[in-house]
Structure formats: structure tokens, C-alpha cells
Amino acid sequence: MRILVLIVIGLLLYIIIGNLFKKKTASKSQDELGKMVRCLHCDLHILEQEAIQSNGHYYCSQEHLEASEKK
Ligand SMILES: [Zn+2]
């Protein structure tokens, strides 16, 4: 009977820890999704994942990356 109780407690802990870990990763990815960066060329704000990164700067498009580098 004691073994059964231990198994139930172990399962509950596993579920609780699993849920906490899921929430942490979910909120982390949301923060990453919501991060906005500014195009160096036209000051347009875009999501970091959609921006083009070059030399530590962000650009909204390939055209602006090239236009800014030609300066
Ligand atoms: Zn731009």
C-alpha cells in the first residue's frame, strides 16, 4: 500500500514539474516572439524573427540592408 502512495506522489510531482517547465518555455518563447527591433535604414519596427540581421543591426528587408551598407 505504501508503494502505491509513493507512486501516486511521484506521478503528481512529475505532472506538476512538467507543467511548470512547459509554462516556463511557453512564456520564454512568447517573449522572444514579442521582441521588436528597428530597421536601421527606415526606422520601421519589426519582429526580431522577421528582421534581417547584419553586423549587429536589423533591417526590415534585404533592400534596406543593401541600401544601408552602400552608404
Ligand atoms: Zn527598412
Of residues 1 and 52, more confidence is placed in 52
This prediction's pTM: 0.52
Written in H, E and C, the secondary structure of 41-59 is CCCCEEEHHHCEEECCEEE
- How many Å lie between the centroid of ligand 1 and the Cα of residue 15? 46
C-alpha cell belonging to residue 57: 543591426
Query: Which tens digits make up the pLDDT trace of 18-47?
Result: 988 887 666 655 555 678 999 999 999 999
Instruction: Identify the CATH number of the domain defined by range 35-71.
Output: 3.30.60
Rg over alpha carbons for the chain, rounded to the nearest Å, is 23
CB 47 within 8 A of CB 38: no
- How many Å lie between the centroid of ligand 1 and the Cα of residue 32? 21
Instruction: Say what the pLDDT of residue 70 is.
Output: 78
- How many Å lie between the centroid of ligand 1 and the Cα of residue 3? 64
- How many Å lie between the centroid of ligand 1 and the Cα of residue 55? 15
3-state secondary structure at position 24: helix
